Structure 1
Amino acid sequence: MGRLDYENRAIDFDYTGTTIADTAGNFLFATNGVTILNNANDTMQNGTGLSPSTYSSPQWFGDGLRIPQATLILPLPGSANLYYLFHMTVDTINIPIYSYYFYYSLIDMSLDGGNGAVVAKNQLLYTGLFSPGGIAACKHANGRDWWITIHDELGSDFHFFLLTPVGVIFMHSQTIGIRDGLGTYCFSPDGTKFGGYNTVDDFEIFDFDRCSGMLSNFRQVVINDSTSWFGSAFSPNSQYLYGSSLRYLYQVDVTSNQPDTTFKIVGIWDGTYYNTHPATFGLLGLAPDGKIYITTPGTTPLMHYIEYPDSNGIACNVIQHSVTLPVYNSATVPNHPNYFLGALVGSLCDSLVGSNELSINPIKIQPNPTQGIFQIVYPPQSQNGSMELIDLFGKIIVVEQIPPWSQLKNVDISELSSGIYILKILWGNNVVYGKVMKE
């Protein structure tokens, strides 16, 4: 595990939380579903009163919405300053709960001295009886535009929208699968699969066509348990889908046409409490270091993580309550798509191929010199890579894998002797070298 950076912010988060940074990694703004916070740690101009409803009022949830995946931020293709915030809330107070409205708001980061301002707020995009939350996005096969999807609360309808340089439009609805409960949904990092885990239907898995925005090949994995939580995340290599069910963590292989035969329990809650709160399994999120981090449903500072999510079964190595945050976390993970997915080369709609291709840039090693632990920062790649640490005699000292789409890796050489080591990173036929000095 690497260093945890913490900065106090002026708004709180409670299940709902989304952030966005620029291409250099500089924080731009964040939202808890009710308020938008700018990069000056202040409320963004015109940044209050999102998704108006009784549920969104300060009397109910002044700390932010309690709806996983109720917000999502995407850059407007081709623009350096404009960002679309997609959002929804609960529009009914009684059970069953529904979202009647799917909104977007437009943020211009060139305003207010670079702190940004909301130039269009609560713009109604679509109406229906939606499941609150569950907003997900994936790059179009042209490598530029974005598919955005939400789904109905009851029934089997998904609704797809397309964000292009001229704005966002509704594209189509599709009836497929079965859906009767609350859940979280996401696209695989390579964009070929869509899936999730919910409180009634358990695992739902689909193939996804990035050209047409259509789902196909529905598969369900039914689990005999009393699901009360519903986190989900794909592995970096897009082969495995993980789900959380409070006391258990599950894994299925989405590349199989019979994923129920691949179902495995990879984690069982070890009974740990923080004060009076059980540190069980909550929401899941795939992080830039290639690991999957897991919140606790109760308010604790503890998180779990899956160390090797590309590995089958218990080899994925679930490490419980091993991350202690400097503050309490109320089951909040940011809702991020794969921003780095490029065009689908060879497809019928890769007309923009080349505009979003990933390149191998020089890596960054920090701190360097190091007393033992350092971090490698590199551009995300669509394939597995490997890292080798070599001494000056040419002997390979350390070999580790680099997951696809990851952006950073923490390395511990505390046990090695002081001196200079050569760092070698391979992605297919591409090789990048660096130099590390151990003090």
Structure 2
Amino acid sequence: MKSIYITLIAATCFVGQSYSQQAKAWNNWYFGWFAAMTFNSGTPVDVTGSNMISMEGSASYSDDNGQLLFYTNGGKGDSGFPPPGAVWNRNNQIMPNGDLLYAAGCSSSPQSSLIIPKTGTTTYYLYTMGCVGAMTGLRESIIDMSLDNGLGDLTQVGTQISATTSLSEGLTATKHANGTDYWIITHDYWGNNFYVYPHTSAGIGTPTTYSVGGSSNIHGQIKISASGKVIACGEEVFTFNNATGAITNPRSIGRSAWGRSFSPSGRFLYVTGALGVGNLYQYDLEASNLAASEIEILGGGVFTGPMQLGPDGKIYVAINGNQSVSVINSPENGGAACNFGLYQVALTASCQLGLPNFMDSYYYELHPTSAYLEENQFAFEIYPNPASSTIRLKSEASISEIRICSIAGTVLQTLGSNEVSTEIDCSDLQAGTYFVQVISDQGTAVKELVIQ
């Protein structure tokens, strides 16, 4: 038996307690013209009663038990699109101050809205994005679910965040490598500038601009893989550093796209044709020539739209104006083996050209044993290992938190930075194998711990 070794695993403890509030955050999807479905039974089931009206983008959020809290289309948009722009509560009523109108984003953006919780509170940040017809830029609203007898209300509506309103329609985010904070990413409308915003418990910070990749009119979604390591935008994919926010290493897929989604492991990228009128393609990010790895999954010019990874590890594809959602059932398989199902999930309402905008990093809370192998970002030692009752940790990194997890990824102990230099009591752990995750200023690392 090895005494100490690095274990390459999915971010097993990466989800930890900081993620516990988000395990079922994405269980209820509200989108399109009155369309909705829930994953609370494990597979998507049609839901009626929604008052959502959205041409494209939306967002929704649920509590720890999978109960819907609220949903939004992000804003009215320009005069060519129907009202209202709003935030609806779980009773499908517009919150008292939830009339967004022109004060926020645009429902004809594929990522019109994005929700980030303020950990340990009833507060949620709602970020909205404009569209080509109504360039409002990145804006912030704040929802407090303790108001209106627990149904929620807005305490802030449409505060301008971005220095410019000339942004593309993409809006995405992912967890920071520290497991607590976030990165929010936007892109300019005509250029090669990414704007990467840090988001902490204090709220959104000042963005860093990364001028990288081709300069073009950027359409459609911006997506980050569930691991937080790869970002797709325009005709390219890039390396994303979820510890620093840096975007580097552009690689071209060789075509314009609108909808984008990564497989859970991040190996395969799926895109739908430019402006949604086109086919569905798959790319293998392990290929030396990314563009040459292209495989057509769906042809015939079907009016495909944005995509979203689901809690079940499948990728859902919007088909314009159809009373169904299409599904990539086995996204980790290459070519036809990805098992694409056209019009697979029946709806009582119309899908339109959008699905809710969720952070794919939610996926690791529900699937801690995912196939993705997360490389440790720094070195640390556990001693003794195997252990019987206590352990100590040694690292040159500045450690902020330690988590001891079961082999299945359940967090059993969480320890603060002040406990790093002392003996850690493991006497309550039964004999067996565990994982120790350490979060530091240099990122996240995991090792195996054996208790005798």
Normalising by structure 2, report the TM-score. Answer: 0.67
Partners of 1:311 and 1:113 in 2: how far apart? Answer: 47
- Whether the 8 Å contact between 1:71 and 1:133 is mirrored in structure 2 is no
- Whether the 8 Å contact between 2:226 and 2:363 is mirrored in structure 1 is no
- The AA in structure 2 aligned to 1:183 is G
1:24 corresponds to: 65
Partners of 1:238 and 1:173 in 2: how far apart? Answer: 24
1:230 corresponds to: 258
Answering whether residue 62 of structure 2 is matched by residue 39 of structure 1, we say: no
Pick the aligned partner of 1:207 from 235, 239, 264: 239
Q: Can you list the C-alpha shifts for 1:209-228, whole angstroms capped at 9, x where unaligned? A: 111100111111213xxx6x
Task: Count how many residue pairs are aligned between Structure 1 and Structure 2.
Answer: 331
- Whether the 8 Å contact between 1:144 and 1:356 is mirrored in structure 2 is no
Most deviating of 163-172 and 121-130: 121-130
Partners of 1:243 and 1:100 in 2: how far apart? Answer: 26
* Alignment CA distance shift 1:212-1:291 (3 Å): same
Q: Is the partner of 2:231 in helix, strand or coil?
A: strand
1:4 corresponds to: 45
Partners of 1:87 and 1:180 in 2: how far apart? Answer: 22
Pick the aligned partner of 1:185 from 201, 205, 222: 222
- Whether the 8 Å contact between 2:43 and 2:312 is mirrored in structure 1 is no
Q: Is the partner of 1:101 in helix, strand or coil?
A: coil
1:49 corresponds to: 100
Answering whether residue 134 of structure 2 is matched by residue 106 of structure 1, we say: no
Q: In the TM superposition, what are the counterparts of 1:238-317 in structure 2 within 5 Å?
A: 238-245=266-273, 246-269=277-300, 280-297=303-320, 299-317=321-339
Q: Can you list the C-alpha shifts for 1:340-363, whole angstroms capped at 9, x where unaligned? A: 55898544988444469798489x
Q: Can you list the C-alpha shifts for 1:135-190, whole angstroms capped at 9, x where unaligned? A: 01011110000000100001100001111111111231110001423121110011
Q: Is the partner of 2:222 in helix, strand or coil?
A: strand
Shift of 1:28: 0.6
Partners of 1:166 and 1:130 in 2: how far apart? Answer: 26
Q: Can you list the C-alpha shifts for 1:370-404, whole angstroms capped at 9, x where unaligned? A: xxxxxxxxxxxxxxxxxxxxxxxxxxxxxxxxxxx
- The AA in structure 2 aligned to 1:260 is A
- The AA in structure 2 aligned to 1:22 is D
Shift of 1:126: 1.4
- The AA in structure 1 aligned to 2:167 is S
1:386 corresponds to: none
Shift of 1:101: 2.8
Answering whether residue 362 of structure 2 is matched by residue 339 of structure 1, we say: yes
CA RMSD in angstroms, aligned pairs only: 2.9
- Whether the 8 Å contact between 2:109 and 2:129 is mirrored in structure 1 is no
Gaps of 5+ in 2: 1-41, 75-84, 366-373, 380-396, 411-447
Partners of 1:79 and 1:323 in 2: how far apart? Answer: 35
Shift of 1:267: 2.0
1:85 corresponds to: 126
* Alignment CA distance shift 1:48-1:358 (3 Å): farther
- Whether the 8 Å contact between 2:264 and 2:363 is mirrored in structure 1 is no
Partners of 2:253 and 2:66 in 1: how far apart? Answer: 38
- Whether the 8 Å contact between 1:29 and 1:37 is mirrored in structure 2 is yes
- Whether the 8 Å contact between 1:129 and 1:153 is mirrored in structure 2 is no
Partners of 2:316 and 2:216 in 1: how far apart? Answer: 26
Partners of 2:216 and 2:405 in 1: how far apart? Answer: 39
- Whether the 8 Å contact between 1:107 and 1:116 is mirrored in structure 2 is yes
Normalising by structure 1, report the TM-score. Answer: 0.69
- Whether the 8 Å contact between 1:153 and 1:179 is mirrored in structure 2 is no
- The AA in structure 2 aligned to 1:154 is W
Partners of 2:297 and 2:401 in 1: how far apart? Answer: 39
Gaps of 5+ in 1: 57-63, 272-278, 363-428, 430-439
Q: Is the partner of 2:292 in helix, strand or coil?
A: helix
- The AA in structure 1 aligned to 2:183 is W
2:209 corresponds to: 173
Shift of 1:257: 4.7
Shift of 1:256: 3.7
Partners of 2:289 and 2:145 in 1: how far apart? Answer: 47
* Alignment CA distance shift 1:216-1:29 (3 Å): same
The structure whose RCO (Cα within 8 Å, separation 6+) is larger is 2
Partners of 1:148 and 1:325 in 2: how far apart? Answer: 31
Partners of 1:39 and 1:347 in 2: how far apart? Answer: 43
Q: Is the partner of 1:114 in helix, strand or coil?
A: coil
Q: Is the partner of 2:350 in helix, strand or coil?
A: strand
- Whether the 8 Å contact between 1:143 and 1:353 is mirrored in structure 2 is no
- Whether the 8 Å contact between 1:144 and 1:352 is mirrored in structure 2 is no
* Alignment CA distance shift 1:45-1:132 (3 Å): farther
* Alignment CA distance shift 1:194-1:264 (3 Å): same
Partners of 1:114 and 1:189 in 2: how far apart? Answer: 31
Q: Is the partner of 1:170 in helix, strand or coil?
A: coil
Shift of 1:122: 1.1
1:143 corresponds to: 179
- The AA in structure 2 aligned to 1:46 is N
Partners of 1:358 and 1:230 in 2: how far apart? Answer: 40
- Whether the 8 Å contact between 2:46 and 2:347 is mirrored in structure 1 is no
- Whether the 8 Å contact between 2:48 and 2:348 is mirrored in structure 1 is no
Q: Is the partner of 1:123 in helix, strand or coil?
A: strand
Q: Is the partner of 1:134 in helix, strand or coil?
A: coil
Partners of 1:331 and 1:353 in 2: how far apart? Answer: 42
Identical counterparts, % of pairs = 27
Q: Is the partner of 2:55 in helix, strand or coil?
A: coil
2:428 corresponds to: none
